[in-house]
């Protein structure tokens, strides 16, 4: 490790880092703007200047930008040097010449990096007495508010938006001291990662427009660590509340998962919590009832009938387990058909075998090659797509800097060397995707053919089977891909359930297995549909088909349906039939939907913001989300609390106390061995530091004694939280909490999200105490995996039938987030994609209405002609209004 | 009378056209060079001691020898014709009146460097010169000096002319490359240097128009002979574009053996100051180099005669010297106001800052505002110190040299003419009506015949 001297004290630092990173890691407060730990250095802002000396005898030294200089053994630096300090102060003074100082009315105030850095440099007196330059702001869509006057031209926005995330519609315009960051003209920012601008921008140019509609300062938020609910990636978030409403979602750093960023669905999809559509009171036969009446009714319903439970892929492990515990393992079902369930079971089997490790987002970013089989991850797991982009770019950068060594953080220089050199990435999908533009090879094929290509690749890497009836072209492509993969050392194979095709999953495994056999260190990632699909699959409930048979056989069944709209995933006819056969229907959910309308007993469940729970992400990572606030509605409780109470009713202990979270999670661990270790995902409720809990409110939280004075002039006693180590107050432990229980990032002098620096072991590295979450699939010994080998037949078009496949949309395909106005506004109109040949055959043109006929249902959509689509496939927008209950992966008829 | 190597033929009628140019010895260097090995041409250039004529004065032969030559990667020569420095118009003159000299130099240089595609990046405002150059290129192609298999040597070369869009910063070589690639003209961070990764990821040499034109006489006469011209490391001839308060503004070729005084007062060159006025100050090398008061212009601080060479003009550093720069020689007579002059330059640099790094982007605008106040009688005494403070913090702390170029003129103006600034502040009304005049730092001198 190089030893450097900072103001004559020696420190050991990590080699290969720049001076700024080294100083920040050592805990020095050195101001910066344009440098970003995930985006490297460009040397634009000149804020991080320090003095460097030739040796210990040099007293004059030279001012350098610490972000542009690598650490060298024996380097002598000074942060406190007078000239360096004066220069840093001068830079702030320059930036402030045009900054409007509108902090009191600025959304960024209180979590502003510019404020922090200004105070840090000590600049306090203005020598500039001229008019400031002004700009015209732009309308940038429902998510981001634009206020260009505040801009300090650090270029982070365009560097994130264009270079890091691949966006095209944000750019820098004009020159000199009138540089403008915006779009070519007013309009919605197209990238699904635009929300990160609010955090990347060091001041208030780009701010969260949804927060603006119910604005609260950071210091006035009651916040809790949370986990995103809108796909299976499991990004870590922080959710903030005031006055009983959820106000915003910001990033919660997790080096292995989402790093510094979130996608827009995750960041702006939270408003379903505040939705008008929330279920607020228990209902019996559509009549609102109070708790006594509800309990009384439940007693009759629960004790006199046999129970079945339908678990939910978007409910927490605790709730699913409480349901299983209530109805018994053999009566626990999943809300999907057997075929779909088998896909998820295949995934959990593969991961559980431990033969191939599962790839975290960080591992995907660091992979030197990526193969995507059949999953449009841009739309189904956006943050994974962002990670793939980083892999492609970083690998290209490494390749380019092999001959001309250049440290990775030296962003512009690396880019210059790199130009168009990209890492190897193959994107094999049903139709074109947004990742195509960075892929080395794009192949569009039907699911079976995707699988066949996968098997052919595996066979080229490690011959294990005889390939019959393979076209030369496919074999040639497979060879190209296999040869490239053999040049890599840690490739990642990504696939998922979107193709509704088991061979695709097996093929992905075989590629990974072949790579392992070839001495590589592959990892695999399976994208699943919902935030807890993986957890539910691991519970191994029965398929919905069995539940239908059960109610047909047994007349007296009470169905307990947990947090899901059956009509969304299953054909309406089947669900109608199922529900009509149930004697009683108990539904627990947070929002009204088609299924809740059919409920005989409807129970308001909490959302993630009002309850505690654990979700298991695609990588089998169990992550805890904490209750953010106590809703002003005693009926809104976690489903697991309601279900546990039901269990108590059955066992005749209806008057007992509600169970605490700890006991539910430990019962889960005992009852289902596959979840052993899940309790370690976060500290238990008894956890405290020096007898203090972790406050959800910052120490500057205002209005505590007054905000409820309209009801009672006495300040109410804070609610005790028996389920977590967090308290609903501003008092408590003020130090660094355990990494999985960080309710907000704040340190003295660091009010902005960049305070995360102080929570990391090294800048851009793991959090102190390790990254949150427990991976339940543990890597097993180095046993060689068995290959599946069973490749499917060639995809064949059928006479007058089409294979129905989903087209996912970042905005719109997720059930809950569309209750947020912004997300709803970004959802496209549903359409039906057909290949040009099929469209011609059906004699339809772009926009014509075509009807899909499946067994029981008929749907009608306008046609979109998709050039890249194979003949014999029909693609329909997933999850949008009118597309519920489609039988994905089945053959359907089309009619004009 | 000094030696002329570049513009000696300018007076010949029709020299703009190939036939006349050829008749007067044009393209002889191509014929000679193509019989040499490329490495030998580079060697000749090294021997000649030719220094970059764009402003920095970096030895051209050295620059050429740095060019990386990886297998299978094209190499590019780019001619920097983005001549935008206020006061500098020598390249324009060269391209306008003897375009084939540049084309000839480009063919020889392309051959020496192995560039099959060579670009002339020309200042957007020089629109009419684009036509001249394109016609010259077409003529050269038709006569077999461009295109495939030039003079049966097996060497192919095409020259493309690309117009800039009017940004001064695009004259900085890496910003020029960005612009040429179709991107926003922000300077790149070095390393990597263009010689390793320049245009489109390939090794690239960027040279000034005059530098490339000078390749022609060097090949014709040999590097050694060329290096005999001039004094010390200032070899060969240099074009100086003289303007301001002189009797004979224009482009002059000097052989770097004459004194500054001779250059100003000799009838062969500037021809003295009009109307018998006295010389007040001079910027010897284009707007970004430090201004010198008359008493430091003709003699160095040590009392030696100041010569028109790289070394002599820089004698005394920035305290008492200046730079050869790009050869934009701007003369101010006793009626000129240094504050106003500095304001004009500050306005230029503010406008031309690319906006990438903070010191230049914010500092240049601020300096302009302060100078504006001082010039228009609204200045305060501490504004002068503030101005000094700002320029001092800009200098050396920016990504590219534009920050320095903006800081130096302000620094020099305050350093040498501080009392004029103070007079403006103390006499706001008077300063609106008349100029400060010569004051005491410019020793009036008699006209000296050369």
How far away is chain B from the Cα of A421, in angstroms, using its nearest Cα?
A: 10
Q: What is the pLDDT of residue A834?
A: 95
Q: Which of residues 269-298 of A touch B (CB under 8 A)?
A: none
CB atoms within 10 A of CB B174: 24
Residue B235 CA neighbour count, 13 Å, CB half? 25
Q: Could you tell me the two tokens for A756?
A: 């995360």
The stretch A669-685 carries a mean pLDDT of 93
* Nearest Cα residue in chain A from B390: A90
Q: Do A177 and B350 touch (CB under 8 A)?
A: yes
pLDDT in tens, B305-357: 999 999 999 988 888 999 998 899 999 999 999 999 999 999 999 999 999 99
pLDDT in tens, B106-156: 999 999 999 999 999 999 999 999 999 999 999 999 999 999 999 999 999
How far away is chain A from the Cα of B156, in angstroms, using its nearest Cα?
A: 26
**Best interface-test mutation with B: which of A52, A70, A90, A131 has the largest number of B CBs within 10 A?**
A90
Name the residue among B169, B362, B399 with its Cβ closest to that of A97. B362
Please state, in angstroms and as integers, the Cα–Cα distance from residue A410 to each residue in A19, A559, A654, A778, following that order: 12, 60, 64, 36
Question: Domains of chain A (ranges plus CATH)?
Answer: 3-80 (3.10.20.740), 128-274 (no CATH), 283-341+535-774 (3.40.50.740), 357-521 (3.40.228.10), 802-895 (2.40.40.20)
Q: Does residue B400 register a pLDDT over 90?
A: no
Strands (E), A522-638: 523-527, 557-562, 584-589, 601-604, 613-616, 621-625
Q: Do B184 and A172 touch (CB under 8 A)?
A: yes
Q: Do B364 and A413 touch (CB under 8 A)?
A: no
The stretch A843-848 carries a mean pLDDT of 93
Judging contacts by C-beta atoms under 8 Å, the chain A residues touching residue B363 are 94
Judging contacts by C-beta atoms under 8 Å, the chain A residues touching residue B365 are 97, 133, 176-177
The stretch A488-493 carries a mean pLDDT of 96
Q: Is B320 on the interface with A (CB under 8 A)?
A: no
Judging contacts by C-beta atoms under 8 Å, the chain A residues touching residue B201 are 417, 419-420
CATH T-level topology, domain B338-440: de novo design (two linked rop proteins) (1.20.1440)
Give the residue from A656, A650, A633, A606 showing the smallest Cα distance to A288: A633
Q: What is the pLDDT of residue B444?
A: 38
Q: How confident is the model at residue A474 (pLDDT cuts 50, 70, 90)?
A: very high
Helix (H, G, I), strand (E, B) or coil at A23: helix
- Dump the DSSP string for B338-366: HHHHHHHHHHHHHHH--S-SHHHHHHHHH
Q: Does residue A403 register a pLDDT over 90?
A: no
Name the residue among B200, B362, B399 with its Cβ closest to that of A95. B362
Q: How confident is the model at residue A884 (pLDDT cuts 50, 70, 90)?
A: confident
Q: Is the dihedral of CA B62, B180, A434, A362 positive or negative?
A: positive
The stretch A569-578 carries a mean pLDDT of 91
Per-chain mean pLDDT for chain B: 91
**Best interface-test mutation with A: which of B174, B186, B357, B373 has the largest number of A CBs within 10 A?**
B357
Spatial separation of the C-alpha atoms in residues A537 and A614, rounded to whole Å: 15
Judging contacts by C-beta atoms under 8 Å, the chain A residues touching residue B350 are 176-177
Q: Does residue A464 register a pLDDT over 90?
A: no
Range picked from A316-320, A796-800, B229-233 for highest mean pLDDT? A316-320
Helix (H, G, I), strand (E, B) or coil at B424: helix
Name the residue among B169, B192, B351 with its Cβ closest to that of A413. B192
Name the residue among A44, A68, A128 with its Cβ closest to that of B366. A128
pTM of the model: 0.93
Q: Do A46 and B357 touch (CB under 8 A)?
A: yes
Q: Does residue B382 register a pLDDT over 90?
A: yes
pLDDT in tens, A369-391: 999 999 999 999 999 999 999 99
The percent of residues above 90 in pLDDT, for chain A, comes to 86
CATH T-level topology, domain B18-228: Rossmann fold (3.40.50)
Task: Look up residue A644 and give its DSSP letter.
Answer: H
Residue where the block lists tokens 């691949």: A166
In the beta sheet, which residues pair with residue A5? A10, A76
The stretch A87-102 carries a mean pLDDT of 94
Q: Is B406 on the interface with A (CB under 8 A)?
A: no
Name the residue among A44, A63, A176 with its Cβ closest to that of B353. A176
The residues spanned by each domain of chain B are 18-228, 240-332, 338-440
Q: Do B399 and A44 touch (CB under 8 A)?
A: yes
Residue where the block lists tokens 């560097």: A159
Spatial separation of the C-alpha atoms in residues A208 and A106, rounded to whole Å: 11
Judging contacts by C-beta atoms under 8 Å, the chain A residues touching residue B361 are 94, 153, 176-177, 179
How far away is chain B from the Cα of A192, in angstroms, using its nearest Cα?
A: 25
* Pair B201, B191: CB distance under 8 Å: no
Q: Is B168 on the interface with A (CB under 8 A)?
A: no
Q: Does residue A252 register a pLDDT over 60?
A: yes
* Pair A362, A523: CB distance under 8 Å: no
Give the residue from A567, A429, A432, A554 showing the smallest Cα distance to A501: A429
The stretch A808-837 carries a mean pLDDT of 95
How far away is chain A from the Cα of B241, in angstroms, using its nearest Cα?
A: 28
Q: How confident is the model at residue A429 (pLDDT cuts 50, 70, 90)?
A: very high
Q: Is B361 on the interface with A (CB under 8 A)?
A: yes
Residue ranges of the alpha helices (H) in A716-755?
Answer: none
Q: Which CATH number fits domain B240-332: 3.10.20.600, 3.40.50.360, 3.30.70.940, 2.60.40.1760?
A: 3.10.20.600
The stretch B57-77 carries a mean pLDDT of 91
Q: Is A66 on the interface with B (CB under 8 A)?
A: no
Q: What is the pLDDT of residue A779?
A: 65
Is pLDDT larger for residue B186 or for residue A266? A266
Q: How confident is the model at residue A227 (pLDDT cuts 50, 70, 90)?
A: very high
Q: Which of residues 137-196 of A touch B (CB under 8 A)?
A: 152-153, 155, 172, 174-179
Q: Is B188 on the interface with A (CB under 8 A)?
A: yes
Q: Which of residues 379-418 of A touch B (CB under 8 A)?
A: 404, 406, 410, 412-413, 416-417
The stretch B215-222 carries a mean pLDDT of 94
The stretch B419-437 carries a mean pLDDT of 90
Please state, in angstroms and as integers, the Cα–Cα distance from residue A873 to each residue in A80, A448, A798, A856, A894, following that order: 67, 12, 10, 20, 11
Going edge to edge, which strands form the sheet with A584-589?
A: A287-288, A283-284, A601-604, A584-589, A557-562, A306-311, A332-334
CB atoms within 10 A of CB A173: 13
* Pair A800, A826: CB distance under 8 Å: no
Give the residue from A216, A492, A162, A214 showing the smallest Cα distance to A358: A492
The stretch B348-370 carries a mean pLDDT of 94
Judging contacts by C-beta atoms under 8 Å, the chain B residues touching residue A86 are 393
Q: Does residue B442 register a pLDDT over 80?
A: no
Name the residue among B190, B352, B389 with its Cβ closest to that of A176. B352
Per-chain mean pLDDT for chain A: 94
The stretch B237-256 carries a mean pLDDT of 93
Give me the interface pTM, i.e. the ipTM: 0.85
Q: Is B191 on the interface with A (CB under 8 A)?
A: yes
Q: Do B189 and A68 touch (CB under 8 A)?
A: yes
* Nearest Cα residue in chain A from B386: A127
Q: Could you tell me the two tokens for B97?
A: 């009146």
Q: What is the pLDDT of residue A405?
A: 85
CB atoms within 10 A of CB B221: 17
The percent of residues above 70 in pLDDT, for chain A, comes to 99
Name the residue among B191, B355, B397 with its Cβ closest to that of A176. B355
pLDDT in tens, A305-329: 899 999 999 999 999 999 999 999 9
Q: How confident is the model at residue A469 (pLDDT cuts 50, 70, 90)?
A: confident
pLDDT in tens, B411-424: 999 999 999 999 99
Q: How confident is the model at residue A519 (pLDDT cuts 50, 70, 90)?
A: very high
pLDDT in tens, A14-54: 999 999 999 999 999 999 999 999 999 999 999 999 999 99
Q: What is the pLDDT of residue A141?
A: 96
The stretch A465-485 carries a mean pLDDT of 91
Residues constituting chain A = 896
**Best interface-test mutation with B: which of A35, A125, A176, A405 has the largest number of B CBs within 10 A?**
A176
Q: How confident is the model at residue A782 (pLDDT cuts 50, 70, 90)?
A: low
Q: What is the pLDDT of residue B448?
A: 36
Name the residue among A63, A68, A175 with its Cβ closest to that of B167. A175
The stretch B186-195 carries a mean pLDDT of 86
Q: What is the pLDDT of residue A781?
A: 58
Q: Does residue B450 register a pLDDT over 70?
A: no
Q: Which residues contact A670 (CB under 8 A, 6 or more apart)?
A: none
Q: Do A177 and B365 touch (CB under 8 A)?
A: yes
Q: What is the pLDDT of residue B447?
A: 33
How far away is chain A from the Cα of B355, in angstroms, using its nearest Cα?
A: 4
Q: What is the pLDDT of residue B215?
A: 95
Residue A440 CA to chain centroid, in angstroms?
A: 26
Q: Do A98 and B362 touch (CB under 8 A)?
A: yes
Judging contacts by C-beta atoms under 8 Å, the chain B residues touching residue A152 are 358
Judging contacts by C-beta atoms under 8 Å, the chain B residues touching residue A175 are 167, 169, 351-355
Q: What is the pLDDT of residue B191?
A: 82
pLDDT in tens, B81-101: 999 999 999 999 999 999 999
**Best interface-test mutation with A: which of B356, B373, B388 has the largest number of A CBs within 10 A?**
B356
Give the residue from A192, A110, A181, A106 showing the smallest Cα distance to A143: A192
Residue A25 CA neighbour count, 13 Å, CB half? 21
């Amino acid at each position: 490790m190089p030893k450097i001297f900072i103001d004559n004290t020696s420190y050991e630092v990590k080699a290969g880092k720049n001076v700024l990173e080294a100083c920040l890691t050592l805990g020095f407060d050195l101001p910066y703007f344009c440098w970003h730990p995930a985006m490297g250095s460009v040397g634009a802002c000149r804020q991080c200047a320090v003095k460097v000396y030739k040796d210990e005898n040099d007293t004059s030294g030279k001012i350098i930008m610490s972000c542009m200089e690598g650490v060298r053994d024996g380097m002598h630096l000074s942060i406190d040097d007078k000239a360096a300090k004066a220069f840093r102060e001068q830079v702030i003074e320059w930036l402030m010449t045009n900054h409007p100082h509108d902090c009191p009315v600025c959304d960024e105030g209180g979590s502003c990096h510019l404020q922090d850095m200004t105070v840090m440099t000590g600049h306090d007196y203005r020598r500039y007495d001229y008019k400031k330059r002004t700009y015209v702001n732009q309308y940038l869509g429902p998510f981001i508010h634009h206020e260009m006057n505040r801009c300090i031209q650090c270029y982070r926005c365009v560097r994130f938006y264009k270079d890091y995330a691949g966006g095209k519609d944000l750019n820098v315009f004009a020159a000199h001291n009138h540089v403008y960051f915006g779009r070519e003209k007013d309009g919605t920012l197209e990238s699904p990662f635009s929300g990160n601008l609010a955090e990347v921008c060091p001041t208030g140019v780009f701010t969260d427009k949804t927060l603006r509609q119910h604005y609260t300062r950071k210091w006035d938020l009651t916040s809790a660590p949370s986990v995103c609910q809108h796909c299976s990636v499991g990004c870590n978030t922080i959710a903030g509340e005031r006055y009983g409403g959820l106000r915003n979602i910001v990033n919660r750093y997790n080096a292995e998962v989402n790093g510094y960023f979130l996608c827009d669905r995750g960041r702006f999809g939270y408003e379903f919590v505040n939705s008008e559509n929330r279920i607020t009171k228990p209902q019996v036969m559509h009549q609102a009832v109070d708790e006594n009446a509800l309990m009384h009714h439940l007693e009759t319903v629960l004790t006199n009938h046999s129970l079945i439970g339908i678990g939910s892929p978007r409910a927490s492990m605790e709730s699913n387990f409480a349901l299983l515990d209530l109805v018994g393992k053999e009566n626990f079902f999943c809300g999907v058909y057997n075929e779909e369930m088998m896909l998820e079971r295949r995934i959990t089997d593969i991961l559980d075998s431990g033969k191939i490790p599962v790839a975290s987002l960080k591992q995907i970013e660091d992979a030197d090659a990526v193969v995507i089989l059949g999953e449009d991850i841009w739309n189904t797991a956006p943050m994974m797509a962002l990670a793939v982009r980083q892999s492609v770019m970083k690998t290209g950068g490494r390749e380019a800097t092999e001959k001309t060594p250049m440290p990775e953080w030296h962003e512009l220089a690396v880019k210059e060397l790199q130009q168009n050199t990209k890492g190897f990435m193959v994107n094999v999908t049903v139709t074109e995707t947004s990742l195509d533009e960075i892929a080395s090879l794009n192949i569009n094929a039907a699911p079976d053919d995707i699988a066949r290509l996968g098997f052919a690749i595996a066979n080229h890497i490690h011959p294990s089977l005889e390939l019959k009836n393979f076209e030369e072209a496919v074999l040639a492509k497979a060879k190209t891909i296999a040869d490239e993969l053999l040049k890599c050392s840690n490739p990642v194979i990504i696939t998922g359930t979107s193709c509704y095709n088991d061979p695709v999953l097996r093929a992905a495994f075989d590629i990974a297995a072949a790579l392992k056999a070839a001495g590589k260190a592959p990892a695999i990632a399976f994208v699943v549909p919902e935030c807890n699909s993986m957890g539910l699959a691991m519970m191994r409930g029965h398929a919905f088909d069995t539940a239908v048979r059960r109610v047909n056989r047994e007349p007296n069944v009470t169905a307990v349906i947990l947090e899901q709209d059956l009509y969304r995933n299953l054909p309406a006819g089947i669900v109608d039939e199922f529900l009509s056969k149930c004697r009683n229907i108990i539904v627990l959910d947070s929002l009204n939907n088609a299924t809740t309308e059919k409920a005989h007993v409807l129970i308001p469940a909490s959302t993630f913001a009002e309850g505690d729970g654990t979700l298991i992400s695609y990588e089998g990572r169990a992550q805890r989300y904490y209750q953010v606030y106590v809703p002003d509605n005693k009926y809104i409780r976690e489903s697991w609390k309601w279900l546990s109470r039901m269990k108590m009713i059955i066992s005749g202990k209806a008057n007992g106390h509600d169970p605490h979270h700890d006991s539910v999670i430990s019962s889960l661990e005992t009852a289902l061995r596959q979840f052993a270790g899940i309790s370690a995902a976060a500290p238990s409720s008894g956890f405290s530091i020096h007898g203090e809990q972790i406050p959800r409110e910052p120490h500057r939280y205002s209005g505590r004694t007054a905000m409820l004075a309209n009801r009672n002039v006495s300040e109410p006693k804070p609610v005790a939280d028996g389920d977590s180590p967090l308290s609903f107050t501003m008092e408590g432990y003020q130090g660094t909490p355990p990494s999985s229980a960080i309710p907000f990032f704040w340190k003295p002098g660091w009010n902005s999200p960049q305070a995360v620096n102080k929570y990391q072991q090294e800048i851009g590295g793991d959090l102190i105490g390790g990254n949150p979450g427990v991976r339940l699939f543990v890597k097993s010994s180095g046993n060689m995996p068995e290959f599946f080998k069973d490749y499917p037949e060639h995809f064949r078009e059928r006479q007058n039938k089409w294979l129905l496949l989903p087209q996912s949309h970042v905005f719109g395909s997720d059930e809950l987030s569309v209750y947020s106005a912004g997300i709803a506004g970004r959802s496209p109109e549903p359409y039906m994609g057909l290949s040009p040949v099929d469209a011609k055959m059906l004699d339809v043109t772009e926009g014509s209405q075509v009807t899909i006929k499946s067994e029981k249902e008929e749907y009608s959509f306008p046609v979109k002609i998709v050039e890249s689509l194979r003949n014999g496939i029909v693609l329909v927008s997933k999850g949008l209004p009118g597309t519920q209950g489609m039988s994905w992966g089945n053959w359907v008829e089309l009619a004009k | 009378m000094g030696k002329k190597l570049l513009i000696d033929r300018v007076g010949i009628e029709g020299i703009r056209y190939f036939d006349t140019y050829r008749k007067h010895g044009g393209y002889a260097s191509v014929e000679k060079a193509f019989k040499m090995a490329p490495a030998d041409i580079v060697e000749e250039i090294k021997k000649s001691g030719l220094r970059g004529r764009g402003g920095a004065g970096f030895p051209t032969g050295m620059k050429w020898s740095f060019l990386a030559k990886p297998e299978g990667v094209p190499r590019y020569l780019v001619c920097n014709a983005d001549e935008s420095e206020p006061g500098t118009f020598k390249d324009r003159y060269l391209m306008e009146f003897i375009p084939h000299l540049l084309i000839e130099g480009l063919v020889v240089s392309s051959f020496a460097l192995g560039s099959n595609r060579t670009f002339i990046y020309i200042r957007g405002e020089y629109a009419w010169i684009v036509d001249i150059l394109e016609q010259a290129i077409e003529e050269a192609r038709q006569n077999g000096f461009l295109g495939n298999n030039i003079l049966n040597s097996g060497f192919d070369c095409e020259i493309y002319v690309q117009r800039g869009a009017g940004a001064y910063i695009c004259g900085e070589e890496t910003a020029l490359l960005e612009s040429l690639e179709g991107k926003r003209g922000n300077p790149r961070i070095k390393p990597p240097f263009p010689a390793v990764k320049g245009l489109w990821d390939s090794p690239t040499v960027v040279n000034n128009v005059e530098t490339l034109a000078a390749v022609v006489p060097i090949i014709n006469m040999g590097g050694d002979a060329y290096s005999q011209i001039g004094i010390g490391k200032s070899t060969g001839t240099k074009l100086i574009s003289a303007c301001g308060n002189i009797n004979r503004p224009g482009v002059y070729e000097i052989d770097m053996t004459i004194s500054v005084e001779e250059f100003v007062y000799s009838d062969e060159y500037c021809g003295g100051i009009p109307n018998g006025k006295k010389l007040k100050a001079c910027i010897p090398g284009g707007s970004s180099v430090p201004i010198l008061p008359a008493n430091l212009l003709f003699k160095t601080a040590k009392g030696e005669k100041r010569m028109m060479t790289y070394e002599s003009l820089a004698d005394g550093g920035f305290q008492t010297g200046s730079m050869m720069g790009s050869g934009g020689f701007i003369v101010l007579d006793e009626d000129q106001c240094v504050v106003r002059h500095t304001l004009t330059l500050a306005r230029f640099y503010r406008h031309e800052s690319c906006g990438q790094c903070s010191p230049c982007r914010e500092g240049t605008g601020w300096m302009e505002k302060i100078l504006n106040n001082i010039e228009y009688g609204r200045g305060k005494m501490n504004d002068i110190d503030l101005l000094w403070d700002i320029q001092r913090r800009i200098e050396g702390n920016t990504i590219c040299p534009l920050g320095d170029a903006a800081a130096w003129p302000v620094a020099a103006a305050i350093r040498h003419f501080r009392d004029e600034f103070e007079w403006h502040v103390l006499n706001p009304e008077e300063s609106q009506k008349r100029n400060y005049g010569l004051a005491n730092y410019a020793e009036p001198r008699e006209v000296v015949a050369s």
